[in-house]
Structure 1
């Protein structure tokens, strides 16, 4: 049998073709990425075994007696055999060349991770940042394997998210106080001082601003700034480099914005610390802004940031802001942006010429990243073909890890309303039990806030298997997503109807998702208020259909098909095929025995999206008045199945023996909160969720289990590290 070629959109599709044609015992000879996708060379194992037995010289066999031809005469059998042998020989030569990887043969195409690494290195970003970024490549993109517009857009988002800037110029210009520009000689501090002053004057006028220079070393330095001060009509003051700023404050009464042009000093000069220590304004805080020359070598920029930050810390201050200068003189923008991102600096402005104030603009991360990626130089070595280094490589990467942790937490806060409440619950960890109780009561008193909850997922009123607790109820936000902090059942009022009334009164809840049918009183209340509701029930649930009382499971195949839905079930993609039919059901505990609810039954079959294997069946009941609208409701109920399982896993991993004093209700809220966040991220399909998933899985060491479980474990590690960092920062745990 000859070598066969198979081409698929990805590796999975190509392998499916191989198995269909050659069976599970196919021998894979080679594979590579092409413009069409993934190409695989394979042959049947039996053919390979026959080839291994030896290569005797082909000997023509006597042809069998042919049948009378019904078409034009067939070619001579000996010639056909010779042609087939030649083709087989050529294919075997191709196969041997591929396997040997001989010189001159094209190398296998790089994976997407390798292509992204090469792209970043070619632009001028460092290996450290490239490894950090690519380690969070989403599996959805990695499976495609192509460096297309979607992959490049993802890379741009990752870099832009790491480049902090100002939301608008007012965030910097409208704050009163003292601003000091610091940095090495020749970085452009005096010109930048003039540009900032001009921009301030354009917003607030000349009266509240003053210029200060400490540069008494350079000939003409005072005169240069004095010229700018005259042009801008603002006063200028001179200060010796060893003279504290506080000595000038008495002479600048009424000035709410003071900008200091400091003397340029090499980062290796031991007087840097002394210079920074003199930049104190008594009771007036001094904002330090570091200027970075875009045309400098990466090693020089690294040293500048490290030394000046050390000087600021030694002087009891902080250095968090920077301005990039001389952008127009830089061959590539990526090296300086790399330094800014890796050190977590906030980039305020970018300067690109000598004109005042035209040649300076507010830093726009998206535009700067686009420009950096556009200026790429092909690499002279194939170093980018290496796999990304491990995320944790020692102390040199701790700063990057800290930034990633902070970035993920901030993304979760922005994405999930109420995420801060879950963080507040974790903040109680380690406090005395009585304080935990008091603060937890206050925290839950007004949660969720008005407008935050659109609906409620009412959990089953029984214990989670193997545990002594029940899954808390989960509020649904305005977008239909679960809120991060569930509501413990023992804090709810008793009785279904009472809980429904309380939820509507406190939170204006309009949607109710139930496990099991409502009882009679609750059902009457739901119908009287025309509420949207849906119940997930068992297949044994008895209903009346066409005058017969039957179980829902016995009605499979009878209902009207209403199509199928894409969803996720137990951490994997699947298809939910739905049937629906009209039924009536009796509600337990009805005031009148004859009361029945006219409803629609929904019968669903879950199949694995890839293999088509049946994963299970589910059943729902919704009021007939909703028609076919409940699709979204029953899907939310289905996907809520996983919450108790995830909460149980988190509960078991939150060991009080390791975490210290921990109340059971606090432990349950921590565990169930992690479960709702993990499930939300697993289910969400937008690009922001894809990026966030990849970051989390990267922090947790990659995906080794089903995705929702892997996300839960990563979130648990995120919160544990957050808690450790928080307490290290505090120095000791709170006691009151």
Structure 2
């Protein structure tokens, strides 16, 4: 590579020489004025790309020598040295740019593509990394962002963005609402829009407008015009006037909205203003306005400072309105701030017209819109999470609190008995003398009459390595396990009396048992024509072809059925079933007992990936049911690991760390948590997949045994519930 010096009478002459020698793509490295005119150092662009090392400069034959003879040698050498240094820096810059461009290649893996998508539409790196890391295993095998992956991403974002179910949740709640926020965010216009919506819903009589803005010229007049158009009164509140004094003059006004003076979030008077609003006897609901066109770091600071001011005044800011959506290039940055700070988004304003240019915040529609506004990400996909502002980091707890509360709500909606399991966990930390009567009251009417389709009966002996017996699990009408199991020691003695009590008290008509039913229980089941399944050992002897054989010896004679997908102890598996008609005699055998015709089921459980056999199982069912019990066999098989999962949960719930607790309370906590984890591990619908992703994301770890990871995440979820409630981060009242 050659750096060439060109000297001309003026800049135009020197540049002409550069173009003639090197073409229009020449790189100009440096230029300076000399006694004879203008001197330019240049090189061909191709030489800069191809040559790894700097080369000494060489003058072309056509370039005139510098004026002044030898006296200019020393300045020329210094000039060339400086040029070489500049060239080296340019080369480093080229390499850096090349690395940057390489980093913008499509991210590897679908999780990387999810992260890249979220960054490019404007969500922050913290949220992007969090969601990408929680991508379910079922979706990680996708080669690109297909519709299923995008649907999951949308659901994750919608679940994190809290809005109103309808306008009535806000407009039908009487009281005083104050709109707060920085200067120019649109408080006065939003005040008019909200007032107009209320008037259309309830009429003019209950409404009053209040302004505290005595700083802006014409601020009173602008709101007064809106008040006149809406036919509602307007009042002015001075800085030293208590809110209660003004409210006393508003007889019959049940909905008062205050348009506050705009202040920079860095203005120390923000605390005084919020304190003034919340200092009276009448509670004031604070609604923070956020400008969608503002920089995300600015919005972060606005939320942080105004929340600090509210906290100092003994108030809380939980609601917000996004304004000026029509002026924002992208919606995602504002939504990102709302999500991370755990705010509830009430409305979105997108213009000046009153009241048309404001709509109820509908999370699905807002997320859809945000995901269409894609541009090049500010950071390459392979880069670590972008730096969040101190305010963003400080607010993470608020967003996480809302997220945890949302997960709890989803579990309550999904699982019958989850609310009862929560009440058992509420006993944690109470004196043992208090735990007992509260547990008795809780279990007295649980799960309630006709709440259970069937029962998964556990073995009537202690779990290996434990000092307790696995509780029984009730099944609801859909065949799902109830979240709170049934303690064995609270049930009547004897197999047939237990079955009868389950039928009379719970309405159970399906029984999944371990071992053959005794003669009395078998007769009772057949008299009522109930559905039952008995899981037995391969050594169980049955009659076939006039002879008695162990079940495992009859495998070759059984009729094979199609394979069924399943999960076995937290791992994807396949169940190969075969059936064979046999007969059995109930035990203990009594004189006069007749052999009973049953179907023997022989099952092989194989790992879904390797095909290796991991377990063999044998069942007996009434012959009258034919092949109907196949789903019941799967239910019993998938409950096979509940006892071991409960033992792991028992070990997690350590009294020395969590406080004294009764053994039966601890067992219900452990077995209930295990049942919920197993249910989520087994379920195949999208809602379950989303809950799994959320819980595994909270746990922050992935492992082969997904059911164990879910159990540990649920234990953590229960343990932080009290902290959520204590900090006021839990479920918000409906209004």
TM bucket, shorter chain: 0.7 to 0.9
Partner of 2:662: 663
Moved more, 352-361 or 147-156: 147-156
Q: Structure 1 residues 533, 141: closer, same or farther in 2, change over 3 A?
A: same
The correspondence for 2:373, drawn from 371, 375, 381, is 375
Task: Summarize deviations over 1:73-130 as a string: whole Å, max 9, x none.
Answer: xxxxxxxxxxxxxxxxxxxxxxxxxxxx9x9999686222221221111111111221
Contact 1:113-1:388 within 8 A present in 2 as well: no
Task: Summarize deviations over 1:271-291 as a string: whole Å, max 9, x none.
Answer: 111111121384432111111
Partner of 2:682: 683
Contact 2:350-2:357 within 8 A present in 1 as well: yes
Distance in 2 (CA, whole Å) between partners of 1:139 and 1:558 is 39
Task: Summarize deviations over 1:590-623 as a string: whole Å, max 9, x none.
Answer: 6653233222111111111221111121111111
Q: Structure 1 residues 320, 498: closer, same or farther in 2, change over 3 A?
A: same
Task: Summarize deviations over 1:31-64 as a string: whole Å, max 9, x none.
Answer: xxxxxxxxxxxxxxxxxxxxxxxxxxxxxxxxxx
Q: Structure 1 residues 679, 370: closer, same or farther in 2, change over 3 A?
A: same
Q: Structure 1 residues 390, 608: closer, same or farther in 2, change over 3 A?
A: farther
SS of corresponding position for 1:144: coil
The correspondence for 2:219, drawn from 208, 218, 221, is 221
Contact 1:114-1:387 within 8 A present in 2 as well: no
Task: Summarize deviations over 1:427-458 as a string: whole Å, max 9, x none.
Answer: 11121111111111111111113453221111
Partner of 2:276: 278
Partner of 1:28: none
Task: Summarize deviations over 1:531-573 as a string: whole Å, max 9, x none.
Answer: 2221111111121222222221111021222211000112211
Deviation at 1:641, TM superposition (A): 0.5
Partner of 1:339: 337
Q: What pairs with 1:102-251 in structure 2 (closer than 5 Å)?
A: 110-251=108-249
Contact 2:124-2:386 within 8 A present in 1 as well: no
Contact 2:432-2:660 within 8 A present in 1 as well: yes
SS of corresponding position for 2:560: strand
Deviation at 1:726, TM superposition (A): 5.4
Contact 1:453-1:477 within 8 A present in 2 as well: yes
Q: Structure 1 residues 278, 107: closer, same or farther in 2, change over 3 A?
A: closer
Q: What pairs with 1:245-644 in structure 2 (closer than 5 Å)?
A: 245-280=243-278, 282-379=280-377, 381=379, 383-386=380-383, 397-589=396-588, 593-644=592-643
Contact 1:513-1:535 within 8 A present in 2 as well: yes
Deviation at 1:653, TM superposition (A): 2.6
Distance in 2 (CA, whole Å) between partners of 1:681 and 1:513 is 20
Distance in 1 (CA, whole Å) between partners of 2:384 and 2:151 is 21
Q: Structure 1 residues 724, 476: closer, same or farther in 2, change over 3 A?
A: same
Contiguous gaps of at least 5 residues in structure 2 = 1-98, 730-735
Task: Summarize deviations over 1:288-312 as a string: whole Å, max 9, x none.
Answer: 1111111111121111111111111
Deviation at 1:146, TM superposition (A): 2.1
SS of corresponding position for 1:357: coil
Distance in 2 (CA, whole Å) between partners of 1:289 and 1:399 is 16
Q: TM-score by structure 2 length?
A: 0.82
Partner of 1:36: none
Moved more, 482-491 or 711-720: 711-720
Who wins on radius of gyration, i.e. which is larger?
A: 2
Distance in 2 (CA, whole Å) between partners of 1:221 and 1:365 is 33
Distance in 1 (CA, whole Å) between partners of 2:235 and 2:563 is 75
Deviation at 1:714, TM superposition (A): 2.1
RMSD after superposition: 2.4
Moved more, 196-205 or 411-420: 411-420
SS of corresponding position for 2:535: strand
SS of corresponding position for 1:647: helix
Distance in 1 (CA, whole Å) between partners of 2:706 and 2:108 is 26
Deviation at 1:212, TM superposition (A): 1.4
Distance in 2 (CA, whole Å) between partners of 1:322 and 1:724 is 24
Distance in 2 (CA, whole Å) between partners of 1:123 and 1:616 is 48
Q: Structure 1 residues 727, 487: closer, same or farther in 2, change over 3 A?
A: farther
SS of corresponding position for 2:307: helix
Q: Structure 1 residues 415, 488: closer, same or farther in 2, change over 3 A?
A: same
Contact 2:696-2:713 within 8 A present in 1 as well: yes
SS of corresponding position for 2:165: coil
Distance in 2 (CA, whole Å) between partners of 1:479 and 1:186 is 55
- The count of residues paired between Structure 1 and Structure 2 equals 627
Q: Structure 1 residues 365, 533: closer, same or farther in 2, change over 3 A?
A: same
Distance in 2 (CA, whole Å) between partners of 1:106 and 1:404 is 31
